[in-house]
């Protein structure tokens, strides 16, 4: 039986954390829970120790971001499998058992099937990338009946709910802490693929991602962080020195212009991209395998996907 460490990064929203951990209590597969609190101001660490004494609590003094929190939680454990789980994901009792089942083979990561709150449509079934290495939730908005579709090409799990063989996780060094938030799960998936690890999807590992319950209007700071991550990974992967350079420049121009003109009326997304580009100077370049890229995601389709994801995140 595989030993499983479940890492739950949290920041405020105690009601979501409480619901998530109550769901984990019902799981049919034994596991150890590591909750990493990113400097919550709502008493989360104290409540965790009182109501969930079985959980290991790591309380950080300040919000260090998603990557740092997940990496810290993963280091606390020694299990064969590291499962990342957002606190706004509701899991049935057999979720972990079904999610880790493919890891009995040679897979390095497993994607869960996450549904929207109505449970009729898909929120994500892993991740896909276009030729510019921009990442998208696979099959978002599609009926759950098409979950077994082979396209778009799967690169790995969403950070909201996914399983990683610890050997694979440690092989690539976990999540990149060079970014505070956004696209870190895409980067991890690409680095795992570049290292030769296979990504698979578990269509019977179904959970509900109630992201709308925790969504807030994206502040200038959040849009800056999203832009920072995009600029950082554009440089780290050498996208602007590849055959996709012109497409990447055109796409980023449209997205940044759309952000400034329609959504935010400021240049936070642009400033973030420039800062991220500078921060990635000197980083080792990663070259993902060609079969990890979905070339059927055309330029205009990628623009629609990018703007669709952005507008969904800005909805309150």
Given this model, what pLDDT does residue 262 score? 76
Rounded Cα distance between 76 and 46, Å, is: 19
**Burial letters for 136-173: b for 16+ Cβ neighbours within 10 Å, e otherwise?**
bbbbbeeebeebeeeebbbbbbbbbbbbbbbebbeebe
Looking at the structure, do residues 199 and 239 belong to the same domain, yes or no? no
pLDDT at 165 over 90: yes
Given this model, what pLDDT does residue 214 score? 44
Looking at the structure, do residues 38 and 178 belong to the same domain, yes or no? yes
* Parent domain of 238: 220-314
Region 204-231 average pLDDT? 82
206 by DSSP, 3-state: which?
A: strand
Given this model, what pLDDT does residue 217 score? 55
Last residue of a domain, one of 192, 214, 236: 214
Predicted structure pTM score: 0.93
Which pLDDT tens digit goes with each residue over 281-308? 999 999 999 999 999 999 999 988 876 6
Rg (CA), the chain: 18
Looking at the structure, do residues 280 and 141 belong to the same domain, yes or no? no
Which pLDDT tens digit goes with each residue over 142-158? 999 999 888 899 999 99
Picking from 98, 179, 126, the residue whose alpha carbon sits closest to that of residue 292 is 126
Place of tokens 């921060």: 279
Region 34-43 average pLDDT? 95
Which pLDDT tens digit goes with each residue over 229-253? 999 999 999 999 999 999 999 999 9
Rounded Cα distance between 70 and 83, Å, is: 10
End-to-end CA distance of the chain: 43
pLDDT at 315 over 60: no
115 by DSSP, 3-state: which?
A: strand
Region 218-236 average pLDDT? 92
157 within 8 A of 111, measured Cβ to Cβ: yes
* CATH number of domain containing 203: 3.90.550.10
**Token couple for 54:** 């079985």
Looking at the structure, do residues 9 and 106 belong to the same domain, yes or no? yes
Label residue 183 by pLDDT band (50, 70, 90): very high
162 bridge partner residues: 84, 111
**Token couple for 164:** 């990683």
Number of domains in the chain: 2
Q: Torsion-angle region of residue 39: left (phi > 0), alpha (psi -120 to 50) or beta?
A: left
Picking from 124, 151, 127, 136, the residue whose alpha carbon sits closest to that of residue 251 is 136
Last residue of a domain, one of 161, 186, 214: 214
Q: Torsion-angle region of residue 65: left (phi > 0), alpha (psi -120 to 50) or beta?
A: left
Looking at the structure, do residues 81 and 205 belong to the same domain, yes or no? yes
Last residue of a domain, one of 164, 197, 214: 214
Mean per-residue pLDDT of the chain: 92
Looking at the structure, do residues 277 and 160 belong to the same domain, yes or no? no
């Amino acid at each position: 039986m595989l030993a499983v460490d479940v890492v739950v990064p949290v920041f405020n929203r105690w009601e979501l954390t409480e619901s998530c951990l109550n769901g984990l209590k019902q799981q049919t597969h034994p596991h150890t829970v590591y909750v990493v609190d990113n400097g919550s101001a709502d008493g989360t660490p104290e409540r965790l120790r009182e109501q969930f004494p079985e959980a290991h609590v790591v309380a950080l003094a300040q919000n260090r971001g998603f990557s740092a929190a997940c990496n810290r939680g993963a280091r606390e454990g020694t299990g064969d499998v590291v499962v990342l789980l957002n606190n706004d994901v509701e899991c049935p009792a057999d979720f972990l058992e079904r999610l880790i089942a493919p890891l009995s083979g040679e897979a390095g990561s497993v994607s869960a099937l996450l549904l929207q709150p109505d449970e009729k449509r898909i929120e994500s079934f892993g991740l896909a990338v276009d030729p510019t290495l921009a990442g998208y939730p696979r099959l978002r908005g599609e009926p759950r009946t098409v979950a077994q579709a082979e396209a778009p090409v799967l690169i790995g799990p969403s950070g909201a709910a996914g399983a990683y063989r610890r050997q694979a996780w440690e092989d690539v060094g976990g999540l990149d802490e060079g970014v505070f938030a956004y696209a870190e799960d895409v980067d991890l998936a690409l680095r795992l693929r570049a290292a030769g690890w296979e990504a698979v999807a578990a269509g019977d590992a179904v959970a509900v991602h109630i992201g709308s319950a925790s969504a807030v209007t994206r502040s200038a700071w959040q849009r800056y962080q999203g832009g920072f991550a995009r600029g950082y990974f554009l440089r780290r992967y050498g996208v602007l020195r590849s055959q996709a350079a012109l497409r990447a420049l055109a796409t980023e121009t449209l997205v940044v212009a759309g952000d400034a003109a329609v959504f935010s009326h400021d240049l936070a997304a642009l400033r973030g991209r420039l800062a991220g580009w500078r921060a990635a100077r000197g980083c080792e370049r990663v070259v993902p395998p060609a079969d990890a890229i979905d070339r059927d995601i055309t330029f205009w389709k990628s623009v629609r996907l990018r703007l669709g994801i952005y507008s969904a995140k800005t909805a309150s």
